[in-house]
């Protein structure tokens, strides 16, 4: 099963297929893999030993970044994520560690999680998706309901105390309008985090 895989010059980590959301645009609906990887559907969730063994097979003189992403929400396995990031920091201290997340770690864990990322994760990339809580609910369909959008914003704002770079992402036109992009930019300015508008890629 595919625990780690290559995307351009980064090593991506696939910890779980679980996710509290069911986004209408989720890539998982398009097929079992991305960027030529083998299937990202896991037979079972890998142990910490298996994750470290898989991370350890890459040549980090070639790869500059490890990204926790995969076919699920990586913070569903926060203990394994952080333990393997700790291994990376101890064995490959120059490697940049990023987590691509829906920002719902606190709701998943049922407690604040932001401080746990300190010293282990360099960038949190959080999917903002939209400026409108109602639209977020309709598009991301989180199992936490209306609590999800404000919890995601709170996670971003709080995490910046512990993580050097917190980025919130949306997709460019036609997924978002310039008006929505401006509102998202205002949200990020208020939270003190950076907005990244990802280029829309039609299939």
Q: Interface residues with ligand SF4 (CB under 6 A)?
A: 19, 21-23, 26, 28, 72-73, 102, 140
**Exposed e or buried b for every residue in 97-136, given b needs 16+ CB within 10 A?**
bbbbbbbbbbbbeeeebbebbeebbbbbbbbbbbbeeeeb
> Going by DSSP bridges, is the β-strand pair 123-127/165-171 parallel, antiparallel, or unpaired?
parallel
The structure tokens 């039609």 sit at: 202
Cα–Cα dist 159/193, whole Å: 10
Rounded to the nearest whole angstrom, what is the least distance from the CB of residue 60 to ligand SF4 in the complex? 26
- Cα 48 from chain centroid (whole Å): 19
Rounded to the nearest whole angstrom, what is the least distance from the CB of residue 101 to ligand SF4 in the complex? 8
Nearer to ligand SF4, 1 or 23 (CB): 23
Cα–Cα dist 103/7, whole Å: 22
Nearer to ligand SF4, 19 or 168 (CB): 19
Nearer to ligand SF4, 18 or 86 (CB): 18
Cα–Cα dist 189/157, whole Å: 10
Nearer to ligand SF4, 26 or 138 (CB): 26
Rounded to the nearest whole angstrom, what is the least distance from the CB of residue 32 to ligand SF4 in the complex? 14
Nearer to ligand SF4, 95 or 105 (CB): 105
Rounded to the nearest whole angstrom, what is the least distance from the CB of residue 129 to ligand SF4 in the complex? 9
Rounded to the nearest whole angstrom, what is the least distance from the CB of residue 59 to ligand SF4 in the complex? 28
Cα–Cα dist 16/54, whole Å: 14
């Amino acid at each position: 099963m595919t625990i780690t895989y290559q995307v351009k010059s980064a090593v991506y980590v696939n910890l779980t297929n679980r996710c509290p959301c069911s986004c209408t645009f989720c890539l998982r609906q398009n097929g079992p893999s991305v960027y030529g990887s083998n299937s990202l559907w896991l037979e079972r969730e890998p142990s910490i030993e298996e994750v470290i063994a898989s991370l350890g097979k890459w040549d980090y003189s070639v790869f500059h970044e490890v990204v926790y992403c995969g076919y699920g929400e990586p913070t569903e396995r926060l203990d394994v994520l952080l333990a393997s990031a700790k291994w990376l920091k101890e064995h490959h201290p120059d490697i940049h560690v990023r987590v691509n997340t829906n920002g719902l770690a606190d709701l998943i864990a049922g407690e604040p999680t932001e401080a746990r990322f300190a010293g282990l994760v360099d960038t949190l990339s959080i999917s903002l998706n939209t400026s409108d809580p109602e639209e977020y609910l309709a598009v991301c369909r989180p199992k936490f309901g209306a609590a999800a959008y404000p919890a995601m914003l709170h996670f971003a704002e709080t995490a910046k105390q512990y993580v050097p770079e917190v980025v919130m992402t949306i997709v460019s036109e036609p997924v978002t309008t310039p008006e929505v992009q401006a509102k998202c930019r205002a949200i990020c300015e208020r939270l003190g985090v950076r907005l990244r508008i990802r280029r829309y890629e039609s299939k």
